[in-house]
Every structure is written in C-alpha cells, then in structure tokens.
Amino acid sequence: MSRTTQWEVVIGLETHAQLQTKSKIFSGSSIAFGAAPNVQASAVDIALPGVLPVLNREAVVCAIKFGLAVGATIAPRSVFARKNYFYPDLPKGYQISQFEIPVVLGGGLAITVGAGDTATEKFVHLTRAHLEEDAGKSLHEDFHGRTGIDLNRAGTPLLEIVTEPDMRSSAEAVAYAKALHALVQWIGICDGNMQEGSFRCDANVSVRPMGQKEFGTRREIKNLNSFRFMQQAIDFEVHWQINEIEEGRAIQQATVLFDPDTGETRSMRSKEDAHDYRYFPDPDLLPLEIRPEWIAEVKSGMPELPQAMQARFQADYGLSAYDAASLVASRPMADFFVAAVAEAGAANAKTIANWIMGELAARLNKTDLPVEASPITAVQLAGLIRRIADNTISNNIAKKVFEAMWNGEGGSNNNAADQIIEKQGLKQITDTAAIEALVDEVLAANQKSIEEYRAGKEKAFNALVGQAMKATKGKANPQQVTDLLKKKLGA
C-alpha cells in the first residue's frame, strides 16, 4: 500500500443499554444503583446450586418497545442461550443471552451527521437487539493481592443493540450513538446514564482501501462510556491501523481498550486467546413467545416518536426542520415545548420555539442545567409569551421578565410573569394621551435632532425614538411611539 492510498473507515457499534426495570432480568432482586456490595445479590444472582431463572416480563416489554421504535421485526419466538466463559464476576460460568434467535431483528435509525449547511442524513441499519444479563463487578485494588467481587449488578437486564458495519467515520459513529441514546430515553427503556454504565458502547473498527469490496480486519474497542472518548478512540484507532498497513504490517483481529489519559487504544487480547463461548440453548429457559396482541398492547402505550413529532411540529406550527429537530432532540425538551404550546395556544407555537431555543437554551447551557430542572416551567414561559402576544409587554421587556422569573421572582406560581409585570410596573403604556405627552416633552428637548431630521438625516429620527422609549423606561409600544413621532413631525 502506498502512502497515497485513500482509506475508507468501516465502523459497527454494539451498545449495551441497561433496561429501566425495578428488578433483575431473571430474579426478584432490586437493580437500584449505589447499594452496598452484594446486598442486591440473591441466590439466583450468585448462582447457588438448584436455582432457576424466571424471565422478567417488563424486560421483554422494553425489547418490544425498542423493536417498534426502530421499525424492526419482533420475533414471535426467541430463544435464550448460554454464553460460556469463566470469570469471577460471572458466578454461573455462563451469561444468559440470546444467540441464534434474538428478540429484535433488523430495523434502523436515521441520523444527522454534523450541523447547519454541511449536515448530512444517513440511515444506520441494525442487525439485531437481544436481551441478556449483566455481569457483576470486579474490584482489583486494596484487597492485598486479591480481587473483590460485587454481584449487585449481576443479572441486571440489558438490551444489546448491534448495527451493521454502516458507519464511515467517527463523526457518524458518534451521531448514531447520540441518536440511539436519545431514543432509548425517549421511549423510557433506559435512563441513559453513561457515568453509571447504563449505556455503553463497543466499536468495531476496520479500514480498507477506498473502493475495495471486502472489509479489512477489525479490532473491537471495548466499553466506550462517553461520546468524546468514542470519537477520540476511533480516530486514534483508525490512524493506528492505517499506519500499520502502510508500514507493511497486517492488522490482527483483537479486542482493545481505550485509555482516556493517553488517548490511545491498546490490545487486551488477541485472536489466539479469543473466547470460544460454546453457545447453546439454555435448558433452564423455555422459548420466549411474543404474540401480535401483546405487541399491539405495547404499541398503544408508546409515546409519539421523535421523527413523527418533528414532522408534526413542522406541519402544524410552521417550524423549520432545524427548529423542529432541535425541539425533539430529547424527550424532556419536546415535553416542555408541548406543555407550553398547550398553555399558550398553537398560534404562539413559533414564538415559544424561539424562546425555548434562544433565551431558555442559553440560560440552561450557561448553568449546565437539563431542561427538566429549568427554574422556569413550561406553563410560566407560556404565561410570558401570552403577555407578549396580547401586547401587555414588548419583546425587550419580556426579556427582563424572563430574567426575573429565572431568578425565582414570581415564585413557582403559574402566573409568575403577570406578578412580575404587575410588581415592577412593566406593563406597556397604551394610553395614547400619556405617550403623546411624553413625545411632546422629547420633541421640546431635542430641537437639534428635529432640525437634522428635517435636513434629511434618518439617524436623527431613530435618536428621537430612542429618547422617547427611554423616557417611558421601555414601556411604550415602539411602533406606537414611531407612529406618533412621524405624525408630529409631519412625516
């Protein structure tokens, strides 16, 4: 391979999403995060002899929801299998997973890569998604040369979601991971908490000369628990693989780990000692049957999906594709918008969208708050928008009221905006006589501007409007002031 070869990157992702159930997938132990070691590890979870797994119905419901959300086939009959390997955090000596017949087959996710004018759309196909149990945790430090085992996590329900090797850059991989992350939270099957390991990705990465049909040899980067690390790890890995090939060395299939401190990937195990899992159907579990009626029941309880909602916002409220997409980027954001529109009416939807993506988003960003923790509720924001719409306050004054609401003035009342407007006397002056008096005062005090205006300087007129607005402390309707001034100056 010469240095001038153009390389194509090929990436497939496997994601483990922890399902939001109360109990484990095969036992009645709690899966609450943060408990003391081994207090949520029952006889089934620690694999005492004679115990039997019993499948959690809700874990299956989560899998059905996911299958519906990605347009996949939900297997009418799927089978649990034993994946055999020895590791102390897996006390049975096998993980219960699905192999030949997974619960979800096919489907896919539309993603947007990049933003603005350079944004591109892409569809990432899914191979499958299957139910399985998580392993426990090994702690290697502080136990005088021994390893400590905490089995609280053993048996936690996971949905492993596997893509086709459809992605062609780290940016596409991250865009897919983000879209999937938003979707599993949207449909309420995973809390998406990456720090706590509720959503973790493995990336299969290979490179090939542009135009070559066969895939190159892949290496799998394990346990990427942030989008930033995913980008860094893939970029490093791609660079490393291209360099190896260009130096004349073949890529060996391997599992690698990403070290965030050095920004490098390093080999964990090579193909020679790759696991031979010897999958076989688990005789402890019967086939899982999912009837069409059950799928229909789950479907009827599902929320409107982001893409459908985006299309509706564009059609019903005249929002741009970009605005609508921003509002459905997360479920809490969409819920906020929907709640505000329900309160202030569809006619104000566009104004609401602008305020959410402008003032509110800027504030949330600055204070690092998620929208669900916004000090201003959707109903309160709607209350503010309504006062702009009925001309009680101007847009500029509204920003002042917003600021006050953000700082907690007006309290948690639904009519916080009205209280602030009232208390601070911010109501727009609509009394024509009062405004006329003010305008007269301004004109009397600014003879020079009047002359300049009459001499043809437009700027002088703007200065007069400014003076008049200042005199009213911004409470006059700017259009009304302009009209009055024009009338008085005989323009």
Partner 1 sequence: MSLNLEDVARIARLARIELSAAERETTRDQLNDILGFIEQLQAVDTTGIEPMAHAVDVVQRLRPDVVTETNRRADFQAVAPETEAGLYLVPRVVE
Binding site for partner 1 (CB under 8 A): 21-23, 27-30, 36-43, 46, 48, 54-60, 77, 79, 84, 86-88, 101, 138-140, 143, 145-151, 268-269, 276, 278, 281, 283, 285-289
DSSP conformation class of 329: S
In sign, the C-alpha dihedral spanning 178, 179, 185, 186 is positive
289/451 with CB nearer partner 1: 289
- CA gap 184, 302 in Å, rounded: 12
CB of 226 to partner 1, least distance (A): 21
CB of 114 to partner 1, least distance (A): 37
143/322 with CB nearer partner 1: 143
Burial pattern 418-427, b for ≥16 Cβ within 10 A else e, equals: bbbbeeeebe
- CA gap 417, 384 in Å, rounded: 5
CB of 220 to partner 1, least distance (A): 14
247/273 with CB nearer partner 1: 273
- CA gap 291, 312 in Å, rounded: 31
DSSP conformation class of 285: S
- CA gap 271, 96 in Å, rounded: 23
CB count in 10 Å sphere of residue 488: 15
List of residues 6+ apart from 11 with CB closer than 8 A = 165, 167, 168, 169, 170, 172, 173, 203, 204, 205, 234
CB of 45 to partner 1, least distance (A): 8
List of residues 6+ apart from 191 with CB closer than 8 A = 18, 20, 185, 198
281/478 with CB nearer partner 1: 281
27/326 with CB nearer partner 1: 27
CB of 42 to partner 1, least distance (A): 4
150/202 with CB nearer partner 1: 150
- CA gap 184, 200 in Å, rounded: 12
Measured over all CA atoms, what is the biggest interatomic distance in the chain, rounded to whole angstroms?
Answer: 100
Structure tokens at 317: 């409220």
223/413 with CB nearer partner 1: 223
CB of 96 to partner 1, least distance (A): 12
Half-sphere exposure of 276 (CA within 13 A, CB side): 2
CB of 197 to partner 1, least distance (A): 17
18/482 with CB nearer partner 1: 18
CB of 281 to partner 1, least distance (A): 4
152, 112 contact by CB (below 8 A): no
38/307 with CB nearer partner 1: 38
281/466 with CB nearer partner 1: 281
Q: Alpha helices, DSSP H only, in 198-302?
A: 227-246, 292-300
- φ/ψ of 345, rounded to 5, equals 95, 150
The residues that bridge with 104 in the sheet, in sequence order, are 74, 129
Q: SS3 string of 165-201? A: CCECCHHHHHHHHHHHHHHHHHCCCCCCCCCCCCEEE
- CA gap 24, 2 in Å, rounded: 53
220, 256 contact by CB (below 8 A): yes
CB of 206 to partner 1, least distance (A): 23
CB of 148 to partner 1, least distance (A): 4
CB of 409 to partner 1, least distance (A): 43
140/366 with CB nearer partner 1: 140
